Each structure stands twice: as C-alpha cells, then as structure tokens.
C-alpha cells in the first residue's frame, strides 16, 4: 500500500481524474486517462472524503440539517467522480488491466464505506438531527434526505455492537469480492466459447445478415468459415433460424452452462458462498433472511408481496407456455421428424409457429429497423411527449470510437444533459444492456447541473454493405434503456441522497417507453426500409399487432422462473450444505416448469442477483410492469398516446422527483389511483 500512496503523491498534479473536468458538460476527459491514473485517484478520493467526514465530526457547532445531513450528502464528490468513470468504463470496455484494478480496489472501497457507516461519532450527529426532525420545518425533499440518511446508517450496522460491526465489515468485504469474481468469471465464460462452423450446409435457414456477421467474426479471429458466440446478437438468431439441430444444441448448452464447467471460472461455489454470506449479514442486522433485508428498502416491502404477484402470474403463464409447446409439437409432427421438443428447439419452432399462425417472419421486420432509424424514432417519441430535442455532437471526449454523443435540450432550449450511446458487442463489454451516469443531476450554487448519462447495448453489428438492423427485441431494448436515460435527464433534485429510486420502481420509466416502440403512428415515422426508404407497409404493421402476444407464455415463464430462483435463494434461513445445482433443480421442479424452458438466468450466470445489482430483486421488472402497463393506459384512455397533459404529469410526478417521495405515493399522484394488474395480463395475453 505504501507504493500506492507514493504513486498517488507523485502523479496527483498530472492525474486528469484529480483535476476539475475542464470539458463541455463536465464529461470525463477519456482521451487523457490512462490505467495508472485509477489507483492514485481512488486513494486521493478516499483521503479527501475522509477529511470531509472528519470535518463534520469535529465541528463544535450544534448538529443541524445543513452542517451534518447536507454536508454529508455533498461529501465524497471526488471519489464519486473516480468511481463513476472507472466502473462505467470497466463494464463497457474492460481489459485485464482494469479487472486487476477492480480486484485491488473493491475491498478498499468496501472498507471505506464501512468506515463511514460505522463511524459512531458521525452517526451520533445524524441521529441528533433525525430526532429533532419534527422541529426543523424541513421541506419534503430535505425531510426525505434526512430519513434516508438515518436509515442508511442503521441498515449499515450503526446500531450494532463493536464485535458485530467487525463481523459485518468482514462480511461486506467478502460479499463485494465474491460479486466481483462472479462477474469476471461470467465475462470470461461468455467470451471463452464460440461455435466454429466450416460446413456451409450447417448454415441452412440462417438469414444472410447473420451469416455475414459470423463470417466477419471468424475473420477477426483468424479463422475460416463462420463463428457464432454466446453474445445475444449471435446466439439468439442462430437458435431462432438455424436448421441444424445439433449445432443449436451445442450453442445453447454452452450458453446454459456458463460458470458451470468445473474450470477456473466455475461459479457454483461462489453462488453458495454468496447466498450464505448474505444470510449471515441479514441475520446480523436482525432480519429473518436476506430478502427481508433487501425488500425493507423497496416498494414491495416484504417477500410475501413479491411471491403473491409471482404466483398470480405463474399459473396462466405456464398454461400459455404449454399451449405454445403443443403448437410446436404439431408442427414437428407435420414435418414427419421423429424428435422430442427440446430447449434448443423452442425458438426455432416458435418462429415457425409465428409464420404459420400470423404469416409473419421477424426477419421481414429487420430491414425497417435500421439502428439509426430506430434512434430517430425514439427522438420523435421524446419530442412528441416532452418537447425535447437531441443533436449529435463530435466535440465530447469518448472512451471508444464506436460511441456517439448527443446533447439534449428542453422545450425552452435549456440544456438538460448529454447522452452517450454505445451499441455493439465487444470482448471487453459486459453482456446485456444498461443505462448509467457519468454525472448525476444536482444543483451547484443554485444552478442546475445537467446530467451526463450513458446507454450501453449489445446489438447486431453492421456487416459488409448492410447497416445495423435490429430485431424487434433489440428495438424494444433501445426504447427501454432510453426511458432510463430520460429519468436521468429530467431529474430535478437538490441532493444526491434523494436521487436514488427503489429497485422495483426504477423500471417504470424504462418499461413505459417500450409501449411506443411499435405503435402504428410511431412505426410510420421511423420504420423505413434501409435500401428503398419505403415506409413499413400497413399489412406488416397489422401482422405485428396481431402477433404481439405470440410467445408470451415462454417469455413470461422463463422470466418468472428466474425471479422465483432469485427469491428462493434469498428467503433461505439455513444455507448449510447448499448444493447450487440441486437447489436450482428443486426450485424449477416445485414450480412445475417444463424441461424445454430453462430459467432465463441459471444460477451460475445470473449476474442480476449474484453480481449484486438486483439481489432479491429480479422480480422488479414484472413489479414495474404492473405500473407501466397501468400508466400507459392513462394515455390510451385519452385517445392520444402523446397526450401532453398526461406526459407532463408523468414527467412532473415520476421522472423529475426521483426518490423525493414514497414510490406508491408518486404513482398515485400521477395516476389518481393505485395500479391495477389487468393491463399487464391483457398485454401478455394471460387473461
């Protein structure tokens, strides 16, 4: 550690992470940051934060909201900047060097967080202000910040004995390292397998775009033929269209066994340890199990309410999935193939059922879903709803050549913030799609600071003379992540401590955006054929509408199975002799899940929960879907999906306020009533 401290002192004047970001909108100076800057910057950030905390603690003034709660909220800005840049880059464009830094700094940051949460003198001051809350005449935002600050200390172990606090510190460090290791193993497993095909006959059924992309991947790897990977833009079309059943099996089994191969990246032991350590932590903090601890801070409040929703959906979803399986078996029988329907057959025969029942081929939609056109469609929706505009700029530093940047302006011309967009898979990019921030909106000296937000995806790449053409699922994903970006851009809070949103509420702004993706009026605006410029024909829109519920049995069932798996791990009260694979099997067997449908995420690659972001929280997507389906009905009921009054209310009551009020209270203020489940059931064809 002495070497690190000396290095920090030596490099500090030149370290761009330790200087004010002298860039437009205060975006990170990516072009100036090098690997060796991070550790010194983390060390300097921690040191500065400790000084700020010590100043609060040493103050002789009577504890007040301003000199304790607000001062604590403002503290740690330098460290926050370093963390934001590092983890954003590490997820979107990692390397061996960045992963090594992550392994080194993770336990250090865990200790630093505990040093604050378990600082008895600091907690005493926070508690003193909290106990006089009724006398302070705080506005709603300040009162919520006070409540959340106090609660965070209690949940962080401030009321524990010295011995229990020492145990908690050890558990927090172990959990953080285990979560980190799980994610690094998963990335290595995802990148570590590819199906190499040299026989062109095995490409039968695959659209030309997928063949081209696989040929490009092979060429980049120095191989002849075609290469198919475990990244979604490669594997999912293969499972959907490839006629070669054995190749489908190989690819899917490799996908399903990530982290379960008995090698250096195996995650089974990590999962068992994580579940056990989380339970220990929950019990130490006087909770029955980890789910009780996690949900105490969310909209659902307790596991019982989560299970009530999941079971309410499970039976109709499973029945729908069985109906879909029966449709596929009939197709198999007609083809005179003597095979049993298996998991690697599902997407393949689901596509054939789609064609048979609705005369629709999803590949017929791709030419109209050019990435750039979909992006313009999103801008169109945002403008119609909120009057905002987006303009691309080349003047901002970027962390990768493929990144595009856009400045967002409000209807009155004021700058709301910046959006970074990064669309395509790379070996150094985590899987999936997400929205993050390089700078959260707040106020400085009475002036609103614009947000700097980022959208990172793994979409189908362009190849040869064909641009990036999205699948319907990728199109919805783009709309989804842009909903998160709007939440960041519209945020209008004065304190970082109220900018956080409960995990099971945060998907409302993203999921409601999906509702506009395939509205006929919206499609007519952006869905243009990439070669001819022809607007998507009415016939194709009608087919899309009629088939909108196709495959919902599978989609809902695989999602719910993963949600049950996540919850069942975290309601355990005893983890002795936990066998991960047997536990997973018991969960799915008890659900009656048919063998052709594995959970969307099996335990050893379930990064949502094992990586820490959605621990005991994967249910949040369906919980939020109750909200978004009901909320979109507010637009539908007016007869105008762009109704300005409803859009204005949604922005004002939901997007701008973030965590200032209780989530249900905010929703009722917007909708006028609590959400009902009927719209969700209708949307998924489960009613």
DSSP 8-state class, residue 339: -
CA 116 – CA 99 distance, rounded (Å): 26
Token pair belonging to 149 = 């600050």
Contact 43, 49 (CB under 8 A): no
CA 16 – CA 21 distance, rounded (Å): 8
Token pair belonging to 612 = 């820490």
3-class DSSP assignment, residue 616: coil
CA 259 – CA 277 distance, rounded (Å): 20
- 481, 514, 584, 625: which one is catalytic? 481
Closest CA to 101 of 174, 19, 49, 40: 40
Q: Tell me the helices (H) and strands (E) count for the chain, helix number first.
A: 27, 9
Contact 674, 668 (CB under 8 A): yes
304 is catalytic: no
Tokens 């009656």 belong to which residue? 592
DSSP 8-state class, residue 93: S
Angle subtended at Cα 172 by Cα 168 and Cα 177, rounded to the nearest 5 degrees: 150
Spatial strand order in the sheet of 451-456 = 389-393, 404-409, 415-422, 451-456, 434-439
Compute φ and ψ for 501, nearest 5 degrees.
-125, 140
CA 291 – CA 285 distance, rounded (Å): 12
E strands of 294-403, at which residues? 389-393
For the chain, the farthest-separated pair of C-alpha atoms sits apart, in whole angstroms, at 85
Angle subtended at Cα 106 by Cα 102 and Cα 107, rounded to the nearest 5 degrees: 140
DSSP 8-state class, residue 302: S
Tell me the catalytic residues: 481
């Amino acid at each position: 550690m002495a070497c690190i401290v000396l290095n920090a002192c030596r490099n500090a004047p030149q370290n761009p992470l330790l200087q004010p970001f002298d860039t437009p909108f205060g975006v990170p100076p990516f072009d100036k940051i090098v690997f060796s800057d991070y550790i010194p910057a983390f060390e300097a950030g921690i040191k500065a934060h400790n000084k700020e905390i010590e100043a609060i603690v040493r103050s002789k003034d009577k504890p007040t909201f301003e000199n304790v709660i607000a001062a604590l909220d403002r503290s740690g800005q330098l460290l926050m900047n370093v963390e934001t840049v590092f983890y954003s880059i590490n997820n979107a464009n990692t390397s061996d060097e960045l992963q090594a830094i992550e392994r080194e700094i993770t336990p250090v940051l865990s200790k630093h967080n505990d040093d604050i949460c378990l600082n008895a003198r600091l907690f005493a001051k926070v508690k003193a202000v909290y106990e006089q809350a009724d006398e302070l005449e705080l506005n709603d935002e300040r009162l919520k910040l006070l409540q959340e600050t106090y609660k965070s200390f209690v949940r962080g172990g401030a009321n524990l004995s010295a011995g229990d606090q020492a145990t908690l510190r050890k558990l927090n460090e172990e959990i953080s390292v285990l979560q980190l290791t799980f994610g690094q193993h998963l990335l290595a497993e995802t990148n570590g397998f590819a199906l190499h095909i040299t026989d062109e006959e095995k490409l039968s059924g695959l659209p030309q775009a997928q063949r081209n992309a696989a040929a490009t991947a092979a060429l980049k790897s120095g191989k002849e033929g075609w290469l198919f990977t475990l990244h979604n833009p490669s594997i999912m079309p293969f499972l959907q269209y490839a006629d070669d059943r054995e190749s489908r099996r190989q690819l899917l089994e490799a996908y399903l066994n990530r982290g379960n191969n008995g090698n250096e990246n195996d995650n089974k032991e990590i999962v068992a340890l994580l579940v056990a350590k989380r339970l220990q932590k929950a019990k130490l903090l006087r909770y029955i199990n980890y789910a009780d601890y996690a949900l105490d801070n969310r909209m659902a409040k307790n596991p019982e309410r989560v299970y009530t929703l999941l079971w309410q959906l499970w039976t109709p979803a499973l029945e729908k999935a069985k109906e879909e399986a029966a449709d596929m078996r009939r197709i198999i029988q007609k083809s005179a193939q003597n095979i049993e329907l298996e998991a690697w057959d599902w997407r393949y025969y689901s596509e054939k059922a789609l064609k048979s029942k609705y005369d629709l081929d999803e590949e017929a939609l791709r030419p109209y879903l050019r990435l750039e056109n979909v992006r313009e469609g999103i801008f169109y929706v945002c403008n119609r709803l909120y009057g905002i505009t987006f303009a691309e700029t080349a003047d901002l530093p970027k962390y990768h050549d493929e990144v595009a940047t856009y400045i967002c302006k409000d209807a009155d011309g004021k700058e709301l913030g910046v959006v970074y967009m990064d669309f395509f898979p790379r070996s150094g990019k985590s899987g999936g799609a997400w929205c993050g921030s390089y700078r959260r909106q707040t106020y400085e000296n009475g002036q609103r600071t614009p947000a700097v937000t980022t959208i990172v995806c793994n979409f189908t790449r362009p190849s040869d003379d064909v641009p990036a053409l999205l699948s319907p699922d990728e199109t919805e994903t783009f709309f989804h992540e842009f909903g998160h970006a709007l939440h960041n851009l519209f945020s209008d809070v004065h304190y970082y401590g109220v900018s956080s949103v409960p995990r099971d509420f945060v998907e409302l702004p993203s999921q409601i955006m999906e509702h506009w993706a395939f509205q006929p009026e919206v499609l007519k605006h952006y869905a243009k054929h990439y070669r001819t410029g022809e607007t998507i024909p009415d016939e194709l829109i009608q087919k899309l509408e009629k088939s909108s519920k196709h495959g919902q049995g599978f989609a809902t069932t695989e999602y719910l199975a993963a949600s049950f798996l996540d919850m069942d791990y975290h309601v355990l009260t005893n983890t002795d002799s936990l066998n991960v694979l047997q536990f997973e099997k018991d969960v799915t067997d008890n659900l009656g899940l048919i063998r052709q449908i594995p959970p969307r995420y099996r335990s050893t690659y379930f990064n949502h929960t094992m990586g820490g972001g959605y621990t005991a929280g994967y249910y949040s997507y369906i919980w939020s879907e109750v909200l978004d389906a009901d909320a979109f009905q507010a637009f539908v009921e007016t007869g105008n999906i762009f109704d300005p009054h409803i859009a204005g209310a949604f922005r004002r009551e939901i997007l701008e306020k973030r965590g200032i009020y209780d989530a249900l209270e905010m929703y009722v203020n917007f909708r006028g009533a609590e959400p009902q489940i009927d719209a969700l059931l209708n949307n998924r064809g489960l009613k």
